[in-house]
Structure 1
């Protein structure tokens, strides 16, 4: 996007700074679920700016001046950005009330990020664009070094819908079968175990040294992570085979290995009852979020859109579960945060596509639904690809430089982003054909909106 891309980067940095500032004021601790919330927020912030700038380019290609294109682009993109962010905000609110500690942290970070994203996109970005227009007075739209997707693509996505449905059905069935036969590699959060909080007597805890000391104790699964200050460390030990006596023995071994350099602040055993409650709360949070988003999309669009969005999102969740089983990655509370992130990303992706489908339903009343969906997918293809690529860049950086603790988490999210991008095109779109959606099938309010001048229509 050239200069516009530079403006978007400034707005993105401001967005992240605002999130961290608000979290600091609230005294919140940044954990893996919180990082997941920030990653999703970054993706949505990039997405908001891409939606706006793609709209600006469309308006400019129709012969409008740069100033007119900017003004119309921001207005046309407003409804899409709000719809996409409100659906995710609904999920964040429900997760906050139904989830446990780490999931609550994810929900808080995500909710703050949604508010700051909409604020920076339509205040800071717009102000910077206006400042650039007044100062530089450009005669032509700025262009970047390269374009990932050319203008006016004509990919026949709907021609592949039968193959896509078959592939998705086979993968979903395989994931379900593997889940019930092979099972998941559940972590301490779900299988139970001991949780120990220690604080370094010196200036800073050495996570690598602690992990090395505990590895030689042969305690089975051991997790070590920093939380709070740089002196505080959380140690989790998997359930021992000999009951309470074995659990106490494991704790004493840890105490003997670390007592000289660390002060033990808290020790607790996570029993099977607590573990089942965590699993139940996490599952109910995901299901309640999907239901609430279904209701919102149903109200804002039509029932076909709401049902299509939820089915495609549920498809992504099933594939994520299958990936955890096949890859053997440990499934714990941070894994639920990864799934919640993908739910938010997928629903955001789908709503953006559906918003364009709704607009085209108003504009092309006699166009066959398959052609209309192809047109809508191609019109939003640049935005879909660019948002996915930028989010994958952020996750790849976390995977490479984030250390072994966060690597499995980011790898799972990378798979989820790819699945979410696939489903928004090859699952969510074709479902509208399956549900017999036809041009002219909009509600009376939508039909009345179609009679308004194009400049006054929302997306």
Structure 2
């Protein structure tokens, strides 16, 4: 195990070198990076919105709009088809997803059936590969009554097409704003995700995204006064629409569209020199120019309306034919509103209304503060872990620290190469990895120390220690990796960033532990030829501790039972402090412009807005406040109205550093996905432990892990901490750590059972717990050092997240010692079950293995 061929040595250091070189640009300024030679890597990690500011907006296509439009088109098609076939009809109407029509003359039933048959013809769909989709199904409830119903496949097809078209239109709109590297992508079946980093005006982005921008040119119906139409009934084929003025002016508009926005080829803001007013100049394509020219030629002297999203922008009089295919839209525009309208018209109309169901916006100043806090926390954590390893292991601590530095370089290099987004919880993931990465070295070094104590030479001890620690390290890290994978699957945004860094960190940890660390140890042994295991603080601990854990197991069971019962009482009597992720609503972080905030004044001002439940509390320093507004009864659109009201009320005195809005639609989904994530992690871990050990180990591990989850939930209830998606991530992280700790102990118990088949089970478990006690203490210590650095220096945003993990480390360590191990006694684990397992796998009990050397 300590021999390395030349090609292995080269491969190991080449991988480390590539990782470190690729990660270096992340430590340099942009000017320095630009000055680097062309052959040097210059790519840096993509910073998340919480680190560089920007907006995350989740939009949902209004499916009912698509259904209504399709039914309206179906009615028009039926009307045209029957008129062309000269077939009399009546009762053309629609309800729900259906349109029906009655044929008057029974002699024309067959002709009507033939004329309407094309409506049910299937259409090709790329959504279903080479298959086709029938949008409408026709049936005849009674002779002469034809009913057309939208199929589920048709609605799905229309929704998918609308989402795809919306992605393209939104992409053109956002790119027109001049933002850098926006992300616009489909999410799920009916949603579009928009992420725009570095955006300084998120409200403008929402305004741009919120308009359908359906532009039409229609004639004004002047056959009767509009007031008469309002008081009575508008003429057939005309509708009353209102202008964008304040107060709005009603117009009677003919339904017939002369030209639509699809015929526009360009639109630009312009300043009319005659009246110094901003307008929007437009140009039609050939078809649009011809139709517009004909319409204006035939209607000189009449009014025509320019309509945007069913509102009349302007209604000028046609003084002369407009034949050039160009024109102007005038209205109450300023420079920005004219520019925004031109952007919308150039990008094209959305196929349906889009509702903002989730919004998370971070100001640039808060992002800079988060980066600074993350850098300080990372530096302090790294320093504490390095010092700890030096004190505990001396020379081997130096080797472990070199491997740790390489490990961090590989993590950053991998994130850079993959183009992964680094978030503030992602930084927490790197810091946590630094603490947990030491665990692999601790397992190996402690195993080497045991082999040396058993009488083997130092070289043999290192060789055997690495060999026997391999399975333990892989098993322990695999369980944590499974949790990271589940976090990535069910998480969003920052939580997913935490999962990515944690997962990559686990892979690089295993790599460095069994390649780089082993190579460094082999190099040190060959060069220094040491005779004894390096001294460190560990020698001040008992080399063979004899803590009577099994004597205290009943006390541990009783204590855990009482705590669990207390948590159950808390759950029944104390409501969770649910964050907006799970209950919906708005969270706004504001900072006083004069650095002096007044929570009472803010609360009073917002209560006057009649926006429901309002909570205001101080947050950090420098006049920062957190404002929480409860979910609105009016749905997702009402949530956005609240944000506008709050910004109008407080914008003069406060800067808005962070805005998070979660509508009722998304909050329910997030709560469900969080619950599913915890359940899936439990099931997955139980199956893995069962596969690697036996069912008794699997059930014991899950029971101890459920105990840890119960205690963490109790902490959230007892301290009134906000329970949100980050809380689910914290619980899953604790689950991963606890299982990691348990698997290491179980691996030693299994080894002891194979070696001492006649020894009572409680004594075997006690020996295993004592033999792994040094590793348990040292790993917990390094992880806690990293977490405390995060808690005190990482900033307020992640403090509650880190606090839960800190508590979880203590609880996970306790459950591994006093619950997971003793559970095997309750399940009457028998040593002889490993005889069958060893025979099936071809394993040889350790006691029978020949010594090496």
Give the TM-score normalised by structure 1.
0.87
Which moves more between the two structures, 72-81 or 235-244? Answer: 235-244
Answer yes or no: is 1:275 the counterpart of 2:660: no
Match of 1:337 among 707, 712, 729: 729
Match of 1:253 among 646, 669, 679: 646
The alignment partner of 1:428 has SS state of helix
Is this contact kept in 1: 2:423–2:494, CA < 8 A?
yes
Relative distance call for 1:312 and 1:125 in structure 2 (3 A) is same
Which moves more between the two structures, 178-187 or 428-437? Answer: 178-187
**How far apart, in 2, do the equivalents of 1:365 and 1:25 lie?**
51
- Aligned residue number for residue 359 of structure 1: 751
Relative distance call for 1:454 and 1:126 in structure 2 (3 A) is farther
Is this contact kept in 2: 1:66–1:140, CA < 8 A?
yes
Answer yes or no: is 1:117 the counterpart of 2:509: yes
- Aligned residue number for residue 201 of structure 1: none
- Aligned residue number for residue 293 of structure 1: 685
Relative distance call for 1:151 and 1:210 in structure 2 (3 A) is farther
Match of 1:238 among 620, 623, 629: 629
Q: Deviations over 1:301-327 (max 9, x none)?
A: 000001111111111001000011001
Answer yes or no: is 1:92 the counterpart of 2:477: no
**How far apart, in 1, do the equivalents of 2:594 and 2:478 lie?**
43
Is this contact kept in 2: 1:240–1:247, CA < 8 A?
no
**How far apart, in 1, do the equivalents of 2:715 and 2:730 lie?**
12
Match of 2:760 among 340, 361, 368: 368
The alignment partner of 1:293 has SS state of helix
Is this contact kept in 2: 1:100–1:281, CA < 8 A?
no
**How far apart, in 2, do the equivalents of 1:364 and 1:254 lie?**
71
Relative distance call for 1:294 and 1:223 in structure 2 (3 A) is farther
- Aligned residue number for residue 843 of structure 2: 449
**How far apart, in 1, do the equivalents of 2:532 and 2:778 lie?**
22
- Give the length in aligned residue pairs: 442
- Aligned residue number for residue 217 of structure 1: 602
Relative distance call for 1:223 and 1:364 in structure 2 (3 A) is farther
- Aligned residue number for residue 170 of structure 1: 562
Is this contact kept in 1: 2:592–2:655, CA < 8 A?
no
Offset at residue 443 of structure 1 (A): 5.4
- Aligned residue number for residue 387 of structure 1: 779
**How far apart, in 1, do the equivalents of 2:850 and 2:732 lie?**
35
Relative distance call for 1:238 and 1:15 in structure 2 (3 A) is farther
The alignment partner of 2:461 has SS state of helix
Relative distance call for 1:279 and 1:36 in structure 2 (3 A) is farther
**How far apart, in 1, do the equivalents of 2:717 and 2:829 lie?**
36
**How far apart, in 1, do the equivalents of 2:482 and 2:753 lie?**
26
The alignment partner of 1:129 has SS state of helix
Q: Deviations over 1:203-232 (max 9, x none)?
A: xxx97869966956335457999xxxxxxx
Relative distance call for 1:32 and 1:430 in structure 2 (3 A) is farther
Is this contact kept in 2: 1:100–1:278, CA < 8 A?
no
**How far apart, in 2, do the equivalents of 1:432 and 1:58 lie?**
25
Is this contact kept in 2: 1:362–1:446, CA < 8 A?
no
Is this contact kept in 2: 1:363–1:450, CA < 8 A?
no
Is this contact kept in 1: 2:394–2:534, CA < 8 A?
yes
**How far apart, in 2, do the equivalents of 1:208 and 1:164 lie?**
50
**How far apart, in 1, do the equivalents of 2:791 and 2:479 lie?**
28
- Aligned residue number for residue 311 of structure 1: 703
Give the TM-score normalised by structure 2.
0.48
Answer yes or no: is 1:69 the counterpart of 2:69: no
**How far apart, in 2, do the equivalents of 1:416 and 1:291 lie?**
20
- Aligned residue number for residue 170 of structure 2: none
Answer yes or no: is 1:415 the counterpart of 2:807: yes
**How far apart, in 2, do the equivalents of 1:144 and 1:130 lie?**
20
Offset at residue 238 of structure 1 (A): 3.2
- Aligned residue number for residue 231 of structure 1: none
Unaligned runs of 5+ in 1: 198-205, 226-234
Relative distance call for 1:115 and 1:209 in structure 2 (3 A) is farther
Is this contact kept in 2: 1:221–1:237, CA < 8 A?
yes
Match of 1:49 among 441, 460, 463: 441
Offset at residue 185 of structure 1 (A): 1.0
Relative distance call for 1:178 and 1:103 in structure 2 (3 A) is same
Higher strand share: 2
Higher helix share: 1
Offset at residue 113 of structure 1 (A): 1.1
Work out which structure has the larger RCO, using CA pairs closer than 8 Å and 6 or more positions apart in sequence.
1
Q: Deviations over 1:154-192 (max 9, x none)?
A: 111011111111111111121122123202111121221
Relative distance call for 1:278 and 1:159 in structure 2 (3 A) is same
Offset at residue 352 of structure 1 (A): 0.2
Relative distance call for 1:211 and 1:14 in structure 2 (3 A) is farther
Is this contact kept in 2: 1:302–1:442, CA < 8 A?
no
Which moves more between the two structures, 302-311 or 25-34? Answer: 25-34
Relative distance call for 1:257 and 1:21 in structure 2 (3 A) is farther
- Aligned residue number for residue 229 of structure 1: none
- Aligned residue number for residue 523 of structure 2: 131
Offset at residue 240 of structure 1 (A): 6.0
Relative distance call for 1:236 and 1:191 in structure 2 (3 A) is farther
Unaligned runs of 5+ in 2: 1-392, 607-613, 620-625
Is this contact kept in 2: 1:37–1:341, CA < 8 A?
no
Which moves more between the two structures, 371-380 or 443-452? Answer: 443-452
The alignment partner of 1:194 has SS state of strand
Relative distance call for 1:353 and 1:451 in structure 2 (3 A) is closer
Relative distance call for 1:263 and 1:413 in structure 2 (3 A) is closer
RMSD of aligned residue pairs (Cα, Å): 3.2
